[in-house]
């Protein structure tokens, strides 16, 4: 876990439950299974949404969700965040009432799993974001980041059925958070950034999920200029990344990747050690596949 400001906590209480079953040979097996908990988010006096989540970091989840739905903006003053774990409710209180009621009328479904939503006026904010053109990522840094992320102990390796998102500096991963829905994991990181006044202009965002329009939009709204995934792309995600000037890197495994947008931020500096790092990352990927099959 060295080097992470926030790392996964796969053995934390309440994240998994051990269930009993039979394996393919009919032998008894005890399996750690990821738990799902509802989280109802209020903004001041108004209920906004109930989402199924992993259940950890509810305050960051609520603040990040509201920020990514354009219900909270930079400069809004949060006077309190109250969480009741018995009834799974979190209330975000602001110094002034917001205009979210009108936004609730514009809600549309997206391609995200579980409760992924986006509001119609988010694109207006999306189109005003200017991403830092000077932030760069070298291929050697990308290899190192991927290795550190894919080999750290995580809930994914313990139980599977989970997504991970990581806020990174070019030199190291900073905040690694997991959830059953990739959009939830993104919102938790957005909430952490919002509550701690962390700028995204010089950061990299890494996700285990697909590079969909939703992932691109949320990354841009956080002001992060580089988005990386070991998974693939959707056409709309690439189109929006190109529109925003976002560097979009997919299928990142070891020293291999594909960039479909913002390639000017990438410094190609492969070294002779890249193949060794590639092998280590491929080993980590094989380990993940094995865990998926056995768990």
pLDDT at residue 282 in the model: 52
Quickly state the pLDDT bin for 102 (edges 50, 70, 90): low
Residue 273 in domain? yes
Residue 42 in domain? no
At a CB cut-off of 8 Å and minimum separation 6, what does 107 contact? 117, 118, 119, 120
More confident call, 12 vs 273: 12
Q: Say yes or no to pLDDT of 289 above 70.
A: no
Q: Say yes or no to pLDDT of 124 above 90.
A: no
Residue 212 in domain? yes
The pLDDT tens digits for 125-153 are 999 999 999 999 999 999 999 999 999 99
Residue 260 in domain? yes
Task: Of 59-63, 156-160, 166-170, give the lowest mean pLDDT range.
Answer: 156-160
Q: Say yes or no to pLDDT of 283 above 60.
A: no
Q: Say yes or no to pLDDT of 226 above 60.
A: yes
More confident call, 81 vs 113: 81
Quickly state the pLDDT bin for 280 (edges 50, 70, 90): very low
CATH code for position 267: 3.40.140.10
If one counts the domains in the chain, the total is 1
Q: How far is CA 240 from CA 81, 117, 165, in A?
A: 33, 17, 20
The pLDDT tens digits for 244-254 are 999 999 999 98
Residue range(s) defining the domain that contains residue 162: 137-294
Residue 22 in domain? no
Q: How far is CA 249 from CA 14, 119, 214, 278, 279, in A?
A: 34, 26, 15, 16, 20
pLDDT at residue 99 in the model: 66
Residue 231 in domain? yes
Residue 247 in domain? yes
| Residue 196 structure tokens | 């701690």
Residue 256 in domain? yes
- Give the predicted TM-score (pTM) of the model: 0.86
């Amino acid at each position: 876990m060295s080097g992470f400001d926030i790392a996964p906590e796969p053995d934390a209480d309440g994240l998994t439950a051990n269930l009993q079953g039979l394996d393919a040979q009919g032998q008894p097996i005890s399996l750690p299974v990821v738990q799902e908990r509802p989280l109802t988010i209020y903004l001041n006096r108004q209920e906004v949404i109930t989402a199924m989540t992993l259940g950890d970091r509810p305050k960051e989840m609520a603040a990040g969700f509201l920020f990514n739905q354009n219900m909270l903006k930079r400069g809004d003053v949060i006077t309190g965040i109250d969480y009741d774990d018995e009834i799974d409710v979190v209330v975000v209180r602001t110094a002034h009432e917001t205009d979210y009621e009108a936004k609730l009328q514009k809600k549309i479904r997206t391609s995200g799993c579980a409760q992924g939503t986006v509001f119609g006026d988010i694109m207006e904010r999306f189109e005003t974001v200017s991403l830092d053109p000077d932030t760069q990522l070298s291929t050697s840094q990308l290899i190192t980041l991927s290795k550190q992320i894919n080999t750290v102990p995580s809930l994914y390796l313990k139980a599977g059925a989970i997504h991970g998102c990581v806020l990174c500096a070019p030199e190291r991963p900073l905040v690694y958070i997991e959830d059953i829905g990739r959009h939830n994991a993104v919102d938790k990181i957005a909430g952490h950034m919002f509550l701690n006044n962390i700028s995204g202009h010089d950061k990299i965002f890494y996700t285990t999920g697909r590079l969909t329009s939703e992932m691109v939009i949320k990354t841009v709204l956080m002001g992060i200029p580089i988005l990386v995934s070991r998974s693939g792309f959707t056409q709309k995600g690439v189109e929006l990344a190109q529109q925003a000037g976002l560097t979009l890197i997919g299928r990142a495994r070891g020293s291999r990747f594909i960039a479909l947008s913002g390639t000017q931020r990438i410094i190609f500096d492969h070294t002779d050690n890249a193949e060794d790092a590639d092998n280590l990352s491929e080993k980590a990927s094989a380990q993940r596949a094995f865990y998926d099959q056995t768990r």
